[in-house]
Amino acid sequence: MFVTFNYICKISTHPPYLEINLSSIAGLAAAKQTENDNFISFLKTLDGKAVDGIVHPLTESISAQIDCSNCGNCCKTLMINITNEEADKLSGHLQLTRNNFDEQYVEKGSNGMMIMNKMPCHFLNNNKCTVYENRFSGCREFPAMHLPDFKERLFTTFMHYDRCPIIFNVVEQLKSKLNFSNNT
């Protein structure tokens, strides 16, 4: 996952063409709400391993064509969960006490949950993650399309479909690969 504000509207020159303009993706996502609800219902009828067998190569191919450093929308718009171990590691890297780190960067819920207290992320600077080697596991995993059991993450995938060009394009190409039609 990653960073930048200088988002350049770029369309891949290799078919199938990729949509990476964030405004266009947001607009298309709104227009496709019903279609996507139907697609989710359709996906639930399919074998999970077979779906993974399509999603993973699509993810590999599309991720290779999208430059996250020209997007960074996840670092600007996502609520980042933090574990104690991650906070310990990053506070050490920043040479801060845990108390100082928590005061500056962390919001704590009554249930012990910790999140970064600012969006865009504090550590996004000049379109780069300044703590890249020590970034959180959620940052490393996002958009999680490479992980097993895609079908078990439909809710979160479609929650981020309107903000992440990788998710958007994988889902759109998955519809084609599965011959999904919104009219059937």
Residue numbers of the site for ligand SF4 (CB under 6 A)?
1-3, 66, 68, 71-75, 80, 121, 123-124, 129, 131, 135-136, 139, 142-143, 163-166
Q: CB of residue 47 vs ligand SF4: minimum separation in angstroms?
A: 27
Q: CB of residue 70 vs ligand SF4: minimum separation in angstroms?
A: 8
Could you count the other beta carbons within 10 Å of the beta carbon of residue 41? 10
**Distance (Å, rounded) from C-alpha 138 to C-alpha 127?**
19
Q: CB of residue 80 vs ligand SF4: minimum separation in angstroms?
A: 5
Could you count the other beta carbons within 10 Å of the beta carbon of residue 70? 18
Contacts of 182 by beta carbon, 8 Å cutoff, 6+ apart: 34, 35, 38, 39
Cα angle for residues 104, 106, 109 (degrees, 5° grid): 145
Closer residue to ligand SF4 (CB): 17 or 49: 17
Closer residue to ligand SF4 (CB): 31 or 79: 79
Closer residue to ligand SF4 (CB): 126 or 184: 126
**If we measure between CA atoms, which residue out of 46, 30, 26, 1 comes closest to residue 174?**
46
Cα–chain center distance at 42: 22
**Residue located via tokens 């709104």:** 30
Q: CB of residue 184 vs ligand SF4: minimum separation in angstroms?
A: 30
| Strand segments (E) across 30-178 | 81-82, 106-108, 114-116, 124-125, 128-129
Q: CB of residue 160 vs ligand SF4: minimum separation in angstroms?
A: 8
Closer residue to ligand SF4 (CB): 36 or 73: 73
Closer residue to ligand SF4 (CB): 71 or 174: 71
